[in-house]
């Protein structure tokens, strides 16, 4: 099971049941899945009160779980054999040494914080097949998965979208990463063959069919781990808040997502730091691009959708400064290949993955050419996943 992408779902579930029984004892076992996500367009807009357009993918995190009759919560992982972490309901605290287990612990903590009573402890064994640090939301999928497990084991009255909110709270407050709502929302609310057009300010959303004609969505993993991401991410958030504060001296706003292009042009002179102005420019225009992209897709204009994806990348690279040389190389090379309709970085940035729309007939050339050139130029192995948008978090019967 070391090779995360090659195991089938059946093999994963068999292994989970076997190791769960060995670790936590025989008895009834329930199985769950929560997906990762790929964002098509709308990057770094969620915490700026703007729109995003992600879809759930088939990679994600699986769990085997069972309620206990005491107050202990225990977590184990097939990805970290033998590493069992535990805490006590009512007394869940962040511990550096608990590493990955702080995410599920944080979710149990978030339930209690929100006033949901978890009546008993539980055991949970997980297995994730999203490569860590790839920007496909392995942590959000683990959070949403844990929220689902808690709801289902104890029959709690928690709507599906709230699983996302509880997951985000765990990440923001318990783990200390100030992420927006996109990843958890996509993991909880994903729908087969659709992306989610989400207004992150109101959490209103619509499902949009990802009809791409004769083209596929291809994720390319740069295998550059986004280790810088968390501190730089929090810096970008602060820069955007600074822009909001300065603009508000003349035009009171809560978020940059409230401004259209003309409004932004009229107030941008209020931002004193040119770096902050670039960050704000990205946030405003990326939100506009996202709305335009969804409109283009709705009208069947995949070429325009691809053009907007390209513009999104250029802005993330030049204005928001969240790309890196390896990712820029992958995007530049991708755009040279005939049949590539659009290509951009996806997720928080500083490594991770690109997402591209590639005509069916060019997919093979795309993967072969990028793999070879990337290895020669950057010395790293790129990996490819063809995306079929899938269901949000659910129990496996």
Q: Pick the piece of the chain touching ligand GLA (CB under 6 A) from 67-75, 175-183, 212-220, 241-249.
A: 175-183
* Only segment of 2-10, 180-188, 205-213, 218-226 that touches ligand GLA (CB under 6 A): 180-188
How many Å apart are CA 171 and CA 330, to the nearest integer?
30
C-alpha span between 395 and 385 (Å, rounded): 24
Instruction: Kindly state the smallest distance separating residue 235's Cβ from ligand GLA, in Å.
Output: 13
CB of 134 to ligand GLA, least distance (A): 11
Q: Choose one: 42-50, 60-68, 84-92, 291-299; the region binding ligand GLA (CB under 6 A).
A: 42-50
Q: Which of 165, 179, 218, 387 binds ligand GLA (CB under 6 A)?
A: 179
Nearer to ligand GLA, 105 or 282 (CB): 282
Query: Is 46 or 239 the residue whose CB approaches ligand GLA more closely?
Result: 46
Instruction: State the Cα–Cα distance between residues 185 and 199, nearest whole angstrom.
Output: 11
Residue from 56, 182, 243, 247 in contact with ligand GLA (CB under 6 A): 182
Question: Does 183 qualify as catalytic in the annotation?
Answer: yes
User: Which burial class, exposed, middle or buried, applies to 97 when counting CB atoms under 10 A from its CB (0-12, 13-18, 19+)?
Assistant: exposed
Closest to ligand GLA by CB, 179 or 208 = 179
Least separation, in Å, of the C-beta of 143 and ligand GLA?
A: 11
Please name the residue that has the structure tokens 């959708």. Answer: 305
CA angle (233, 169, 31) in 5-degree steps: 110
What is the sign, positive or negative, of the torsion defined by CA atoms of 128, 95, 113, 178? negative
Minimum CB separation of residue 11 from ligand GLA in Å reads 29
d(CA 79, CA 93): 23
Nearer to ligand GLA, 180 or 190 (CB): 180
What residues numbered 244-263 form the site for ligand GLA, per CB under 6 A?
none
348 binds ligand GLA (CB under 6 A): yes
Site for ligand GLA contains 43 (CB under 6 A): yes
Write down the least CB distance from residue 278 to ligand GLA, Å: 16
Q: Are 190 and 35 in contact (CB under 8 A)?
A: yes
Task: For residue 5, give the DSSP letter.
Answer: T
Stretch of residues binding ligand GLA (CB under 6 A), selected from 22-30, 178-186, 191-199, 252-260: 178-186
Q: Interacting stretch for ligand GLA, rule CB under 6 A, among 41-49, 114-122, 290-298, 377-385?
A: 41-49
283 binds ligand GLA (CB under 6 A): no
| Calculated CA dihedral for residues 206, 177, 142, 162, nearest 10 degrees | -40
Asked whether the beta carbons of 4 and 128 are under 8 A apart, the reply is yes
In the structure encoding, which two tokens stand for residue 204, read together?
């209103």
d(CA 284, CA 48): 9
The position carrying tokens 């683990």 is 142
Q: Can you tell me the distance from the alpha carbon of 153 to that of 175, in angstroms, rounded to the nearest whole number?
A: 24
Site membership for ligand GLA, residue 46 (CB under 6 A): yes
Q: Which is nearer to ligand GLA, 12 or 182 (CB)?
A: 182
Residue 64: CB minimum distance to ligand GLA, A? 26
**β-pairing, 122-128 with 72-77?**
parallel
Which residue in the set 167, 180, 190, 342 belongs to the binding site for ligand GLA (CB under 6 A)?
180
Question: Is residue 47 at the binding interface for ligand GLA, with CB under 6 A as the rule?
Answer: yes
CA distance 21 to 26: 5
CB of 272 to ligand GLA, least distance (A): 25
Encoding tokens for residue 360? 């069916």
Please identify which of the residues 46, 123, 183, 199 carries the catalytic annotation: 183
Cα(363)–Cα(215) distance, integer angstroms? 8
Site of interaction with ligand GLA (CB under 6 A): 39, 43-44, 46-47, 179-180, 182-183, 347-348
Q: Which residue numbers are catalytic?
A: 183
């Amino acid at each position: 099971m070391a090779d995360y992408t090659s195991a089938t779902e059946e093999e994963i579930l068999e292994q989970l049941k076997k190791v769960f029984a060995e670790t936590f004892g025989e008895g009834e076992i329930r199985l769950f899945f929560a997906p990762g996500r790929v964002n098509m367009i709308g990057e770094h807009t969620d915490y700026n009160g703007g729109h995003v357009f992600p879809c759930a993918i088939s990679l994600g995190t699986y769990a085997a779980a069972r309620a206990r009759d005491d107050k202990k919560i225990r977590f184990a992982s097939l990805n970290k054999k033998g590493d069992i972490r535990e805490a006590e309901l009512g007394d869940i605290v962040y511990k550096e040494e608990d590493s990955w287990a702080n995410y599920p612990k944080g979710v149990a903590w978030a339930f209690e914080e929100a006033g949901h009573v978890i009546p008993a402890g539980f055991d949970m064994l997980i297995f994730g097949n999203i490569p860590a640090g790839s920007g496909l939301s392995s942590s959000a999928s683990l959070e949403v998965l844990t929220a689902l497990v808690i709801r289902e084991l104890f029959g709690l009255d928690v709507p599906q979208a709230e699983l996302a909110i509880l997951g985000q709270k765990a990440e923001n407050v318990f783990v200390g990463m100030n992420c927006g709502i996109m990843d958890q929302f996509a993991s909880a609310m994903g729908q087969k063959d659709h992306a989610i057009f989400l207004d992150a300010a109101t959490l209103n959303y619509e499902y949009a069919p990802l009809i791409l004609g004769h083209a596929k969505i291809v994720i390319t993993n740069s295998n550059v781990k986004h280790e810088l991401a968390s501190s730089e991410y929090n810096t970008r958030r602060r820069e955007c808040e600074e822009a909001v504060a300065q603009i508000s001296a003349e035009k009171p706003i809560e978020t940059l997502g409230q401004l259209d292009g003309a409004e932004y042009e009229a107030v941008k002179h209020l931002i004193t730091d040119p770096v902050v102005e670039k960050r704000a420019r990205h946030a405003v225009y990326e939100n506009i691009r996202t709305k335009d992209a969804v409109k283009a897709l709705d009208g069947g204009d995949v070429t325009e959708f691809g053009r907007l994806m390209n513009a999104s990348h250029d802005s993330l690279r030049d204005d928001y400064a969240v790309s890196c040389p390896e990712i820029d190389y992958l995007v530049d090379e991708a755009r040279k290949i005939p049949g590539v309709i659009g290509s951009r970085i996806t997720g928080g940035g500083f490594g991770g993955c690109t997402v591209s729309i590639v005509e069916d007939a060019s997919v093979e050339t795309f993967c072969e050419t990028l793999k070879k050139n990337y290895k020669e130029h950057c010395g790293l192995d790129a990996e490819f996943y063809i995306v079929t948008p899938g269901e949000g978090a659910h129990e496996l019967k």
